[in-house]
Structure 1
Amino acid sequence: MTSTPALDEAACYAAASSRDRRFDGVFYVAVRTTGIYCRPSCPARTPARHNVTFHRTAASAQGAGYRACKRCLPDATPGSPEWDVAADVAGRAMRLVADGVVDREGVDGLARRIGYTPRHLTRLLVRELGAGPLALARARRAQTARTLVETTELGFTDVAFAAGFSSVRQFNDTLREVYRASPTELRARRAAGRGPASSTTAGELCLRLAVRTPYAAGALVDFLGYHVVPGLEAAGPGWYARTLDLPHGPGTVRVEPPSSLEREQAGRTAFVIARFRLASLLDTSAAVERTRRLLDADADPGPVDALLGRDALLAPLVAARPGLRVPGQVDGDETAIRTVIGQQVSVAGARTVTARIVAAHGRAVRLAEPGLTHLFPRACVLAEVDPATLPMPRARGRALVGLAAALAGDDLWLDRGADRAEVRARLLALPGIGPWTADYVAMRALADPDVFLPTDVGVRTAARNLGRDLEAVLARTPAWSPWRSTALLHLWQTLIPPLAPAPDLSPDAQTKD
């Protein structure tokens, strides 16, 4: 187990004194004299050193009795990029808490996913993060509730349950304690100058998801659009949409990242628009967290671009796409199964086969987002399929069904709460799963930032197009660690064409035809 290093308080104070935005979300500054906690970049005057303490999480600051600053909104920052790099127990737990595991399954469920006893996990998180699972979940609920109160027209009862609270009273008490404001007072802030709320109807939400800039939004949408599976996903210039199989019912998300984020000043916090349609508002936290994973929203592009930009081969690619992200996933099982489908076939071929499997075995849903008709088949469904009926070579069909059976059990988790080395070993033990498949799954499903695929056909093609010998390219990869996944994406991105406009699938357009 890797222990999270202790905060260097001198370095933290220096970052806060310089209002360095790059540290927003990495730690929080609590001020004894005011009783509030802030982002390091808060524009307020930095107090004397003896009047401040530093916390790894908003939950830790709240647990110490501090309330969130109304000026800099510290709990609205992107999460710490360290969680994905370190992949330690604390980081894995943070991701599962954000997905709502504690709200749905309790501390026992979270501990089971991590592989610890509840008591030991709580003790570890308090030591590493300054707060236990219940406090971390409470801080997440408070942040979700504040966002919904200030940016939507949802009634407070709907907000309370959408944020994961068990009662309206608990919702009211928590917001008053954390923000020193009632829900009514928080909503009044919008009327006082924060702009109008999004238009919201039952089950529909339009939220702003915080990201660090620069953010290569166009490249990410192009990548996702290049791999779109009809019925499951849709995409066009500047947007991507897909269905979501959530704990309480189906949903959809449509993300619309502003292209201007690519050239924003490094270190700033900016926002991606996400439009959700949910069968149950209880799934709000899960839908938001899975979308953030898909967008790699917690990454810090500064050190990544700085390292890769020093390489002669990658420097022009980094300059062309600053802030490039590694697309994640909304469902680890889906990612693994789609990776097996894509073994040794073209992207177009994989899309066609996957669409046939989705149509045959996925759950049909009626949702308002045009072009989205099915959820991806669950592993337990595919585990019962006769491999001979799948539209692929028999051996690959057996591999897919075997993988689905393993995922349907309780010994293989792909939800970012799993240990990467252990997952890789278990994947390689399955028939038909080789290093390329296991490592691609680690990169996309487990957010491993340091994956490179030396046998990948796309790497070979990109090297040739860049006028480089493959062996010479591979010899450079050790210097790209610990961000070889982003380096791989830079090479792949040279092969991905910009998205063409998607066909208009709205009922009005179909009527005109």
Structure 2
Amino acid sequence: MLKNSNALYAAFKAKDARFDGRFFVGISSTGIYCRPVCRARQPKAENCTFFSTAAEAEQAGYRPCLLCRPELAPGSSVTDATANLVHRAARMLEENCGSGQSLEEIAGRLGCTARHLRRVFTAEYNVQPVQYLQTCRLLLAKSLLTDTGLSVLDVALAAGFGSLRRFTDVFKRHYHLSPTALRKRMSEEKGTDGDITLALGYRPPYPWENMLKFLAGRAIAGVDMIKNNTYMRTAHFITTGGKHSYGWVRVGHKARKNVLTVTVSESLLPVLPQVLARVRRLFDLQCDPDAVYEILQSMNTIRPGLCVLGTRIPGCFDAFEMAVRAVLGQQITVKAASTLAARLVGAHGAPVHTEIEGLTHVFPTPEDLLALEGPLELHLGPLGVTAARAKTIHELARSLAEGEISFDLCAQPEETIKKLMTIRGIGSWTAQYIAMRALAWPDAFLETDAGVKKALPPCTSKERMKLAEAWRPWRSYATVNLWNSR
């Protein structure tokens, strides 16, 4: 439980969105726990207990509020996820709650033993990893029951429960309500067309238009696009059992509720937690904008308005796709790089049926490119890709396929940057850019970038690096602010 209850109660009373997801409030008079932004009748301070996670509140015997819906709260910030083993483990548990991976497997990916992970996780969150995982599954199931028309069995399987009976037993034990009873009590309309729409929360303000503008400029024809103020793309996942899941994702914005709406095709239901995790990463939903602005507001002494509260890092949905596009974009325009990427997809991407006009292919995997006969430059050359770029893409694909380089939550950004730079054709700019977007690293800085140089007063690269020291650990956000200021 969290200390300093007076300050936390004040934030709860003010319904301060800055604290959403930072703590949860257990209310003894009702037996429920809420987000600090909950609009229900304010409880007395003596009836409130404060918890750092939803899992901790549930282990204390509280059940989630049906009004504020704790499953919609944003998670921990990206700086925690890169710097702290426990926070990275928590994000992995959220992302893999439906995959059936054991704690031993997750600990192995993080480079530690399951025993060590249990010890440090419990010390940080006051719950064991298995309890945290169970809460992730329950909250995902609760969201699916509330917002979709999926059958209870489909909900159970999508949330990672092995059987309907086990799901029902656990749900009743924790929430004192059966899954079907919860569905009857909720009034929201549910989808009936086979698509699945859920909501993901963020801490406001959120620059939706800026994010769409950035992504639109880098969209790959056939793979992703912006239409009607909505982001849409194809998706391809390989499950732990080796099965392939193809489908599409559509992301919209509900500013009044501080959420993004995520609609996925029913074909992606078996990998729903991974889909949601990638959307969070793409749109930087874990960001704590006030913490970032507290450090970066000094940028406004260089030029008023240079740093804007709420700026996010545009991440990526498919790390290999983004990395290849970064290589293709070296020394050419953004538009030209999109053209080359579209040719690559048309020639070597797998066709997928989406029922959305313009979405026709998924980007090729590293294995797809490595399986082509002969040198890769023979296949990419006719598309307009230089031999040097083709060799770089081949080496990048090989490094990822053989596990020499990883873009998942286990990766250490500084070490990954060093490994990337050992690939001929990948320099500091490309490696930093990939780390920023694929690894969600908050402290990358592209001192040689043309946009960065243009936004700052005339100075050398060393002087720009020295200037950026004051912006640690948020130099990636500083970079995006500089891009946006042009």
- Select 1:200's aligned residue among 192, 197, 213: 192
Change (3 A) 1:214 1:115: same
SS at match of 1:251: strand
Matched residues in 2 for 1:314 and 1:95: separation?
37
What TM-score do the two structures reach when normalised by structure 1? 0.84
**Is the CA contact (8 Å cut-off) linking 1:92 and 1:418 kept in structure 2?**
no
Give the equivalent residue in structure 2 for 1:414. Answer: 407
Q: What is the Cα deviation at residue 447 of structure 1?
A: 1.0
- CA contact 2:82–2:441 (8 Å) conserved in 1: no
Contact 2:72 2:199 in 1 (8 A): no
Separation of aligned partners in 1, 2:84 and 2:304:
31
User: Does residue 382 of structure 1 match 2:369?
Assistant: yes
Would you say the 8 A contact 1:241–1:253 is kept in 2?
yes
- Cα offset, 1:221, TM superposition: 0.6
2:344 is matched with 357
Partner of 1:229: 220
Q: CA deviation at 1:317?
A: 4.5
| More moved, 308-317 vs 278-287 | 308-317
Residues 109-162 of structure 1: per-residue CA shift (max 9 Å, x gap): 212221112222222212222233322221111111111111111121121112
Matched position secondary structure for 2:316: coil
1:21 equivalent in structure 2: 17
Match of 2:146 among 147, 150, 158: 150
Q: How many Å separate the matches in 2 of 1:182 and 1:96?
A: 28
Task: Sort the Cα spacing of 1:489 and 1:398 in 2 relative to 1 into closer, same or farther, 3 A.
Answer: same
- Does structure 1 conserve the Cα–Cα contact (< 8 Å) formed by 2:99 and 2:271? no
Aligned partner of 2:388 in structure 1 is 395
Question: Cα distance 1:68–1:83, how it changes in 2: closer, same or farther (>3 A)?
Answer: farther
AA aligned opposite 2:265: R
Does 2:101 align with 1:105? Answer: yes
Cα pair 1:439 1:453 within 8 Å, conserved: yes
Deviation at 1:339, TM superposition (A): 1.9
Structure 2 residue matching 1:30: 3-state secondary structure: strand
Give me the TM-score of the superposition, normalised by structure 2. 0.89
Q: 338, 341, 345: which one pairs with 2:332?
A: 345
Q: How does 1:201-280 map to 2 (within 5 A)?
A: 201-202=193-194, 204-246=195-237, 247=239, 248-258=244-254, 261=255, 270-280=258-268
> Are positions 1:178 and 2:174 aligned together?
yes
Contact 1:100-1:285 at 8 Å conserved across structures: yes
Q: Which moved more, 1:432-441 or 1:9-18?
A: 9-18
- Deviation, 1:179, is 2.5
Q: CA deviation at 1:292?
A: 1.5
Tell me if 1:438 matches 2:442: no
Q: How does 1:273-288 map to 2 (within 5 A)?
A: 273-288=261-276
Matches within 5 A, 1:361-376: 361-376=348-363
Measure the CA separation in 2 of the matches of 1:314 and 1:374. Answer: 43
Residue 458 of structure 2 corresponds to 469
CA distance in 1 between partners of 2:304 and 2:181 (Å): 49
Query: Does the residue aligned with 1:396 lie in a helix, a strand or coil?
Result: helix
Cα pair 1:16 1:40 within 8 Å, conserved: yes
Question: Structure 1 CA distance, aligned partners of 2:89 and 2:121?
Answer: 8
Contact 1:244/1:252, CA 8 A, preserved across alignment: yes
Alpha-carbon contact 2:252-2:260 (below 8 Å) kept = yes
Residue type of the alignment partner of 2:53: T
Residue 299 (structure 1) aligns with = 287
Query: For the structure 1 residues 32 and 435, does the alpha-carbon distance in structure 2 shift closer, same or farther, using more than 3 Å as the test?
Result: same
Q: Deviations over 1:26-71 (max 9, x none)?
A: 122334565433223444445446x654432212222233222334
Matching residue of 2:470: 479
Q: After superposition, give the CA deviation of every residue in 1:442-463 in whole Å (9 maximum; x if it has no partner).
A: 1101111122100112223444
| d(CA) in 2 for partners of 1:82, 1:396 | 31
5+ residue gaps in structure 1?
1-5, 496-513
2:72 and 2:260 map into 1 onto residues whose CA distance is 13
Alignment partner, residue 504 of structure 1:
none
Q: Which runs of 5+ in 2 are unaligned?
A: none
In the aligned structure 1, how far is the partner of 2:57 from the partner of 2:291? 27
Matched residue of 1:103: which SS? Answer: coil
Residues in 1 aligned to 2:115 and 2:313: alpha-carbon distance in whole angstroms: 35
- Whether the aligned pair in 1 keeps the contact of 2:98 and 2:273 (CA below 8 Å) is no
- Residue 135 of structure 1 corresponds to 131
| Paired residue type of 2:106 | L
Q: How many residues align?
A: 470
